Amino acid sequence: MKASDIGEFALIKRLMDRQDVPDPAIVRGVGDDCAVLDVGEGPYMLIAADMIVENIHFSLKWSSPEQIGSKLVECNVSDIVSMGGRPRYGIVSMALPKDTELGFLDKLYDGVYSACNRHGMFIIGGDTTHGSDIVLNLTIVGDVEKRLLRARDMAKEGDLICVTGRLGGSEGGLRLLLAGTKGDVGPHLDPRSRCAEEGRTIARYANAMIDISDGLGSELMHLCDESHVGAVIYKDKIPLSDPAIAAAGILSESACDYALYGGEDLELLFTVPEDNMEGLREAYEDFSIIGRILSSEEGVAIDENGERKAIGPGYDHFRR
């Protein structure tokens, strides 16, 4: 049996969840956006890692080195922000082809540092080696006050389901690039995480939170699986970005499918008890209510003009 047959999430669970962990400092381990460590009196420490590979996650055909460096950091920051945390430190490992130009690397790091500066984080170490393709790994360390920690398994029946910003732009941009068609490809080449202050403001009112790196549909399914709940979202409530709508128009595709099944929008999906909604609205504006958490028996569905359909699996790095 091939590893690719079982999918990324099952694979991680199978491989990495094999130790009995009697260590009380591990508050959360494999399966969340970040591992959570209780290192003492202060805040929890959050740690996550993300690996990106040339010609899988980025292509030098259309990405500048600055964009690649920035994207590496932004995708990781989003994992920290989605748990209510602040990004603090990064450790970068790189495998590079032997003929890599120093000028290329300098620009890649311009992108890394510009994203670090946007998010107030520092690079504290790394490893460099060579390989046939460019492979970049960022391990990110953040922290979060214990009371602000949010995760994908905290949704409660009755919660309103919300997303920040507008979705589908990254997938729309990728589709345009793959088709060789002109259009706004910025959301794919230069994705931006929500900043820590936004995540933390939301965390004060939300029960569960996850970032949308693999499509709204897929992330909602993770959230519901881990919270042991069901959900319904309303198709006409899903906020679609202008670039997604434009790309879908050009390519005669569905911007809503980009949002549901595309990757790397880096928006936040979160659930809020109805009683907290007024407070959240006063504190934060850039979000939409798209549905409601149900009991687990009701499954995870999308409502289109009153008709409910089950939501299919989203983007899976390992299958695509």
Orientation angle between helical segments 242-251 and 169-179, nearest 10 degrees: 30
Contact, 244 vs 255, CB < 8 A? yes
Q: Is 183 in the site for its own copies (CB under 8 A)?
A: no
- Measured from the CB atom, the residue of 66 and 159 that comes closer to its own copies is 66
Closest approach of its own copies to the CB of residue 23, in Å: 6
User: Which tokens hold the place of 49?
Assistant: 């890692």
Contact, 133 vs 95, CB < 8 A? yes
* Dihedral angle over CA of 277, 283, 289, 293, nearest 10: -50
Closest approach of its own copies to the CB of residue 213, in Å: 11
How many angstroms separate the CA atoms of 76 and 186, rounded?
Answer: 19
Closest approach of its own copies to the CB of residue 49, in Å: 5
How many angstroms separate the CA atoms of 113 and 127, rounded?
Answer: 17
Closest approach of its own copies to the CB of residue 264, in Å: 13
Taking contact as CB under 8 A, which single stretch among the options 125-133, 231-239, 244-252, 289-297 is the one that binds its own copies? 125-133
Binders of its own copies: how many residues, by CB under 8 A?
77
How many angstroms separate the CA atoms of 18 and 105, rounded?
Answer: 37
Q: Is 252 in the site for its own copies (CB under 8 A)?
A: no
Which contiguous run of DSSP H or E holds residue 244?
helix 242-251
Q: Is 163 in the site for its own copies (CB under 8 A)?
A: no
Closest approach of its own copies to the CB of residue 223, in Å: 18
Q: Is 61 in the site for its own copies (CB under 8 A)?
A: no
Q: Could you report how far apart the first and last alpha carbons of the chain are, in Å?
A: 17
Q: Is 127 in the site for its own copies (CB under 8 A)?
A: yes
How many angstroms separate the CA atoms of 201 and 284, rounded?
Answer: 7
Which of 179, 170, 189, 174 has its CA nearest to residue 67? 189
Binders of its own copies in range 281-320 (CB under 8 A): 317-318
- Measured from the CB atom, the residue of 135 and 195 that comes closer to its own copies is 135
The one-letter code for the residue type at 38 is D
Binders of its own copies in range 131-160 (CB under 8 A): 131-133, 135, 137, 139, 141
Q: Is 178 in the site for its own copies (CB under 8 A)?
A: no
- Measured from the CB atom, the residue of 230 and 262 that comes closer to its own copies is 262
Taking contact as CB under 8 A, which single stretch among the options 1-9, 145-153, 177-185, 227-235 is the one that binds its own copies? 1-9
Closest approach of its own copies to the CB of residue 238, in Å: 27
Q: Which of 60, 125, 179, 309 binds its own copies (CB under 8 A)?
A: 125
How many angstroms separate the CA atoms of 58 and 52, rounded?
Answer: 8
Q: Is 249 in the site for its own copies (CB under 8 A)?
A: no
User: Which tokens hold the place of 224?
Assistant: 């519901």
Write phi, then psi, for 49 (nearest 5 degrees).
-135, 145
Q: Is 128 in the site for its own copies (CB under 8 A)?
A: yes
Binders of its own copies in range 73-112 (CB under 8 A): 88-89, 91-96, 98-106, 109
How many angstroms separate the CA atoms of 180 and 154, rounded?
Answer: 42
Binders of its own copies in range 3-32 (CB under 8 A): 3-6, 8, 11-12, 14-16, 18-19, 21, 23, 25-26, 29-30, 32
Q: Is 196 in the site for its own copies (CB under 8 A)?
A: no
How many angstroms separate the CA atoms of 59 and 185, rounded?
Answer: 13
User: Which tokens hold the place of 231?
Assistant: 């959900």
- Measured from the CB atom, the residue of 61 and 98 that comes closer to its own copies is 98
- Measured from the CB atom, the residue of 90 and 291 that comes closer to its own copies is 90
User: Which tokens hold the place of 278?
Assistant: 């007024």
